[in-house]
Chain A
Amino acid sequence: MQDQDLMRSARFRKEREADWQRLEQLVMAAESRGLQYMDFAEARDLASLYRQATTSLAIAREISLDKALLGYLEALTARAYLCVYAPQERLGGLFQRFFSHGAPQAMRRSWPFILLGFLCMGLGALSGYLLYFESADWYYVFMPAELAGGRGPDATYEALRSVIYDQNPDSSGLGAFATYLFSHNTRIAIFVFGLGVFACAPAVVLTFYNGLMLGAFYALHVDRGLGPDIAGWLSIHGVTELSAICIACAGGLKLGTALMFPGDVSRITSLRLAGRDALKLALVAALMLLVAAFLEGFGRQLVQDIYMRFIIGWGIGALWLIWFLFAGREQK
């Protein structure tokens, strides 16, 4: 059959059909083998044939009424598009970028929110501390019974001291590590971050409440003359862990403010933009909780000396601070 006998759209298809089939083969190869394992020539052809196919599709929509052709071209260009625009990132580079400048830069960008997070926690702790000295009954209001573990205003000095310095033989190592990670504070951190979306209030309230518990707990021990001891016991992992909660709170606040005050963009766009930094804050908080879990699971039982506990706790805190402040600075 002669070409000139064919109608325009059939000629159009006949001229390009071979290219489309070649593109189809390349797409299948790229999907099964992965783009990075293809030859140079194949990868080059894939990109240029994909662009030709998009043009063909645009023309076919105008000149052809062949449903089979339109359907095929739609599907083929869509598949090729997914191949050509696949993420091309190496895992190592990803981690390196996160640690070397992604995370610390995000931390520095969101310092007002982090300050707010620490403020919530600090004010909570202060009020908890003062309220305990006003009336010890407040302790029962703030502290859930299962978290206190028998440590209340009616506990004796010896009982409190034994918790701080005695080893717990049945919960050390891996078991304690795991129990810890699913303990109260991790859950608080997740809630504080996730609930920040709902207009910030849950994040602020939860962080403040966590501070109240901390303050009342600390005041109880100060009341018994165990102030420095409990500070040491708390700081070996608490410096990292409580900072993690504050940072998670900062991430939640960031999302909440983005939703409440979107500025010139739509709320969803604003949430997406804020999500870039908030996600990094959440990942930093998760990392810190993991480190805190190690410290709690292994360090707290091994290190019994109060000064050693202070040094490890605040030393690691200082390392975090150095990372946040100095990593990933641009050369001016």
Chain B
Amino acid sequence: MIPRLRRKRKTERPSRNQLMPPEGVPLTMQIAGVGVRLGAQITDIAITTAALVCIMILLATLNITGPQTIVAIGALLFFLIRVPYYILAELAWNGQTLGKRIMKIKVVSHDGGPLTTHALVLRNMMKEAEVFLPGTLVLMLDASSPLGSLLAFGWIAICLFVPIFDRYRRRLGDMMAGTHVIHLPVPVLLKDLAREPRVMTRDKKGFVFLSHQLDHYGAFELQTLEGLLRAQETRPSGNILAERDKTIAAIVEKIRKKIGYASPVPPADRVKFLQAFYKAQREHLEQRQLFGDRRENKHYAQNGEDA
């Protein structure tokens, strides 16, 4: 009973990867994990540190500062470089610093609206308290003050655990600014398999499927078959090709048995059979969908009885 309840609640919540823009059509953007964000952060720190080192070498050659204040000036310069860097970079590149650009992630507004300056400033000011202060605290730790070490440890643990346990992987600054970080989606338009010319077998008849033969599968199986057919466009050599032919043969046999397709498929026509079946199956399922009969997978009939 309990697992059942839990599953029900899960399906009620909208997916965490969905963002609702003002147009009202939910968009899918993959939430970026803690690891990739840490990578971007480290890249950014490396970039700002490189800038700092350049300026420090310049200052050292110009001999402006005494050796006793060089550490303080370095800390000040690092602060003066990094604070504007994060804010201006995210303003100029629409929520991306250089590290984020390299990692192909991006800040978006949590409610689907435009990113505001306020949000970007706030989330980067909080970065001071969440990343840099505990970071410096760790660098300055000494064994003589166990209380200080414990405090620093607790702070870092909190800052790390907040994004790990948050559903949207937001750190505290993200929560306050109302933002989260996504993977930048890459649009690639593959060709439409249903637009292939009509599939002809060697005896010029083509494959014909009856309506009851197409009632066995759902969208999931269709899209798996689509993935398989797209993989056929590459031409591997030797061993892999033989392996693939074996897989295709097994799949064709399985489909034939399931849908009760009587006439045997000659080896040369197996891929063509699958293409024809894909087209017929897709047309059928899309038509059922238009009539309000959405078939997620081959278990659609049992699910329907349950509900």
Contacts and interface: CB of A to CB of B under 8 A. Distances in A.
Interface in A1-15: 1, 5-10, 13-14
B115 A86 contact: yes
B27 A81 contact: yes
Interface in A173-193: 174-179, 181-182, 190
A190 B137 CA distance: 13
Contacts of B190: 68, 72
17 contacts: A1-B197, A13-B192, A14-B192, A17-B189, A57-B25, A65-B285, A68-B191, A78-B185, A86-B94, A87-B120, A91-B88, A170-B68, A175-B72, A178-B73, A190-B129, A271-B175, A272-B177
B122 A66 contact: no
Contacts of B307: none
A46 to B, nearest CB: 14
A113 interface: no
Interface in B71-102: 72-73, 75-76, 79, 88, 91, 94-95
Interface stretch (B8-16, B219-227, B233-241, B259-267): B219-227
B227 A14 contact: no
A1 B116 CA distance: 50
A74 interface: yes
Interface in A239-281: 268, 271-272, 275-276, 279
Contact of A74 (B28, B88, B198): B28
Contacts of B76: 177-178, 181-182
B289 A62 contact: yes
A186 B25 CA distance: 47
Interface in B261-288: 279, 282-283, 285-287
Contact of A79 (B25, B73, B185, B195): B185
B286 A63 contact: yes
Interface string A57-96: 1100011111111011011111101110111010100100
Contacts of A63: 286, 289-290
A296 B285 CA distance: 76
Contact of A68 (B66, B68, B177, B192): B192
B121 interface: yes
B118 A279 contact: yes
Interface residues of A, number: 64
B27 A85 contact: no
A51 interface: yes
Interface of B: 19, 21-23, 25, 27-29, 64-66, 68-69, 72-73, 75-76, 79, 88, 91, 94-95, 106, 108-109, 113-118, 120-122, 125, 128-129, 133, 172, 175-178, 184-195, 197-198, 219, 222-223, 226-227, 230, 279, 282-283, 285-287, 289-290
Contacts of A124: none
Nearest to A280: B118
Contacts of B115: 85-87
Contact of A279 (B121, B230, B290): B121
Contacts of A176: 69
Nearest to A55: B25
Contacts of A58: 25
A167 interface: no
A171 B72 CA distance: 12
Given A85-B113, A86-B115, A275-B176, A54 B25 contact: yes
Contacts of A218: none
A120 interface: no
A81 B222 CA distance: 30
B106 to A, nearest CB: 7
B113 A182 contact: no
B184 A79 contact: yes
Given A67-B227, A174-B65, A190-B133, A87 B122 contact: no
Contact of A69 (B22, B75, B192): B192
B60 to A, nearest CB: 14
A129 to B, nearest CB: 29
A299 to B, nearest CB: 18
Nearest to B28: A74
A174 B194 contact: no
Contact of B128 (A51, A86, A190): A190
Contact of B198 (A5, A66, A190): A5
B226 A68 contact: yes
Interface in A130-169: none
Given A79-B184, A272-B177, A65 B222 contact: yes
Contacts of A69: 189, 192
A24 interface: yes
